[in-house]
Structure 1
């Protein structure tokens, strides 16, 4: 899952990082979406969906596949969204700049592939995510249970939600405390169904697939959901994502 296949047309579209324009925007996001071997088709679709959400909810965003955005003024952004793009893409200076942003009260949203980073490659980022990726079985349909009905990322989805995704297994090597938002019910799919030569065992009753916590001086929302391009057209998934973005950017909406 670490290889990269650059698709020229998608890259060209992604480079056009013109911020969405709103006269009375509430806040501004930086969205980093870099194509890779398994995640590239989502890029223009996610951008279109974010454009609609931005118009509906009166916010702005800069959508880019260029890490040079992290060389600039991050303080202008209420939150940075790593959209299927892990922090390992940043160079050393950009990593330091992002760390300073979070220490200064910046916020982050981590989506699906962005939660996967090489062990010990950037421990600070692993702690920001809150969990470390272990493995995942084949994409399967499963039942997802809402753990925290008072968190905005659950407001647009049912208490027990049918969803199909890669059910990432994670570990907690740095003992980071998180607040689970969604758990996947492992009895509703086969955690061991995986490629030959690999082994997945599941995580048992405690298998969070979305959570939030604090890191440095900022808010962090993580969702491990979002593998396929069609998910970025799905109203319930977009409601889940929008709720997490809203909370990360503003700190509001939580009961």
Structure 2
């Protein structure tokens, strides 16, 4: 009887281990937040919010303020890399090439706010992130229009969304972007991109996936459920989560 009991217990353990091994591996992202220009005080708030988001939504989150992590080996464990308000030239040529190969392997990129204020001398990055920062007026309320309500980053949002943030004007906007949200320039002062002013978009590029949102300048953004769900949808898209 004891032998039978032990064999039964062993069988249960083997079955459980087999079940666990058949579960899909956990997704993992890297938050990168090095700055060589303006430092956004909201960066630590944003990093903490996305770390909590990962815990609540089943993906792992690593962070790095330095670019030494941009090697083929170190990046290989991630499904997506998130640039959290990075500024200016944060990657050297070797690191750029490693990141380029990462995307070409079918991985993902997420850019938040000042990610477009980054790597102005690297045309490939301009294509990946989708546009470069040009200027911004003072922080103020503005009306946003949701152009695609089916994407995971926007399907929860009202068609017209009013919120406070720092609203970027862009240059070198890429022609292949799938625009998710536009800014209504009649609702605030200082807009320079006209009637089709993109503020969030996604696209496939060079074998990988890229999502960007221009929102996220303030501390308060990272306690706003609508904005956090917007970012979560973008992360899920970039990770290739179905």
Output the TM-score relative to the length of structure 1: 0.79
Q: Distance in 1 between matches of 2:39 and 2:196?
A: 27
Deviates most, 125-134 or 146-155: 125-134
Larger Rg: 2
Which residue of the partner structure matches residue 223 of structure 2? 233
C-alpha RMSD of matched pairs (Å): 2.1
Q: Distance in 1 between matches of 2:24 and 2:204?
A: 28
How many equivalent pairs are there?
219
Which residue of the partner structure matches residue 176 of structure 1? 175
Once the two structures are TM-superposed, the CA of residue 24 in structure 1 deviates from its matched residue by 7.8
Which residue of the partner structure matches residue 53 of structure 1? 53
Alignment of 1:35-74 (within 5 A): 38-71=38-71, 72-74=73-75
Runs of 4+, deviation exceeding 3 Å:
35-40
Gaps of 5+ in 1: 1-22, 192-200
Q: Distance in 2 between matches of 1:158 and 1:171?
A: 27
Task: Quickly say closer, same or farther: Cα 1:251–1:88, change in 2 above 3 A.
Answer: farther
Which residue of the partner structure matches residue 188 of structure 1? 187
Which residue of the partner structure matches residue 234 of structure 2? 244
Alignment of 1:37-116 (within 5 A): 38-71=38-71, 72-86=73-87, 88-116=89-117
Is 1:216–2:206 an aligned residue pair?
yes
Q: Distance in 2 between matches of 1:123 and 1:68?
A: 21
Q: Distance in 1 between matches of 2:25 and 2:223?
A: 23
Q: Distance in 2 between matches of 1:178 and 1:209?
A: 11
Output the TM-score relative to the length of structure 2: 0.83
Show CA shifts across 1:124-168 (max 9, x none).
111111122222211111011101001111133221111112221
Which residue of the partner structure matches residue 33 of structure 1? 33
Task: Quickly say closer, same or farther: Cα 1:118–1:91, change in 2 above 3 A.
Answer: closer
